[in-house]
Amino acid sequence: MHLYPYIFKRRSTRRYDMTPLRESQLQDIRSFAKNMRPLFPAIRVEYRLDSNVRNILPVKAPHNFIISSELKEGYLENVGFLYQQMDLYLSSLGLGSCWLGMAKPSGAVDTHLEFVIVLAFGKPKDNPYRGPEGFNRKALGDIASGNDPRLEAVRLAPSASNTQNWYFVCDGGEIHAYQKLLNPVKAKFYDRFNRLDVGIALCHLYLATVEQGKDFNFTNEGMPELEGYRAIGTVG
């Protein structure tokens, strides 16, 4: 499935037709989930589908991915990277989806892994797409330095409260990814989400790299430090 074009048109859906999808549609979605590319292949990730979650915000969907992971270095970035592929795949099917940062499973999750986040989805009541004018995002110069056409896809990535708390540095054909460090008060709430968000942005960078016919090579070793930021990794 060609996901790249949906970077430029997907939008978060918060109003759903609560009619469940057909089982054949859900089976296609499960099949896609088996073939998503991880950022860190050694980190085990699981999901289960549930029609009900606890959410303090007024967003209800007929289906929810309840996502759990091993607690290893980079696990949040890995979850964001993986399930943004799913987010875009759902968009390619004409479905709506939304990351629910404040939602929790309604009951016990049958796994030894740690619950991470919920991705809600279903038939949207509103248009799941938007034009370029519909994106409220920072200017490219605020989230990156250097020149690389792949960075526009990164700029459009969704993030918690639309903070875009990342920074990308172009360096001789490589792109270094960083997460902005927060003061202790903000970090207590946002750091977890920001790490997921960087994974989402890296997913967009991955798809933009493949779109150019290049291999996506990611490493989190040996990259330069950047004052005020946490080093995430380098894309070759």
Chain-centroid distance, C-alpha 176: 18
Q: How confident is the model at residue 109 (pLDDT cuts 50, 70, 90)?
A: confident
- pLDDT at residue number 48: 95
Bridging pattern class, strands 114-124 and 96-100? antiparallel
For 55-90, write each residue's pLDDT tens digit: 988 899 999 999 999 999 999 999 999 999 999 999
For 157-170, write each residue's pLDDT tens digit: 999 989 999 999 99
Tell me the mean pLDDT in the region 92-103. Answer: 96
- pLDDT at residue number 5: 97
In angstroms, the Cα distances linking 94 to 90, 121, 132 are 7, 11, 18
Which residues make up the CATH 3.40.109.10 domain(s) of the chain? 4-124
- pLDDT at residue number 132: 87
- pLDDT at residue number 86: 98
- pLDDT at residue number 129: 97
- pLDDT at residue number 79: 98
Q: Are 15 and 126 in contact, with CB atoms under 8 Å apart?
A: yes
Q: How confident is the model at residue 108 (pLDDT cuts 50, 70, 90)?
A: confident
Q: What is the CATH number of domain 136-235?
A: 3.40.109.30
H/E stretch holding 135 = none
Task: Output the pTM of the full model.
Answer: 0.95
Q: Distance between CA atoms of 215 and 204, rounded to whole angstroms?
A: 14
Query: DSSP alpha helices (H): ranges in 35-183?
Result: 75-92, 140-143, 151-155
The mean of the pLDDT values for the chain is 95
In angstroms, the Cα distances linking 196 to 25, 125, 127, 164, 212 are 27, 27, 26, 11, 25
Q: Residue 75: count other Cβ atoms within 10 Å of its Cβ.
A: 23
Q: How confident is the model at residue 190 (pLDDT cuts 50, 70, 90)?
A: confident
Q: How confident is the model at residue 114 (pLDDT cuts 50, 70, 90)?
A: very high
Q: Which of 109, 89, 103, 95 is nearest to 6 (CA)?
A: 89
- pLDDT at residue number 11: 95
Tell me the mean pLDDT in the region 216-222. Answer: 94
Which residues make up the CATH 3.40.109.30 domain(s) of the chain? 136-235
DSSP 39: S
Tell me the mean pLDDT in the region 185-214. Answer: 94
Q: What is the CATH number of domain 4-124?
A: 3.40.109.10
Q: Distance between CA atoms of 146 and 163, rounded to whole angstroms?
A: 21
Q: Are 196 and 117 in contact, with CB atoms under 8 Å apart?
A: yes
Burial 99-135 (b: 16+ CB within 10 A, else e): bbbebebeeebeeebeebbbbbbbbbeeebeeeeeee
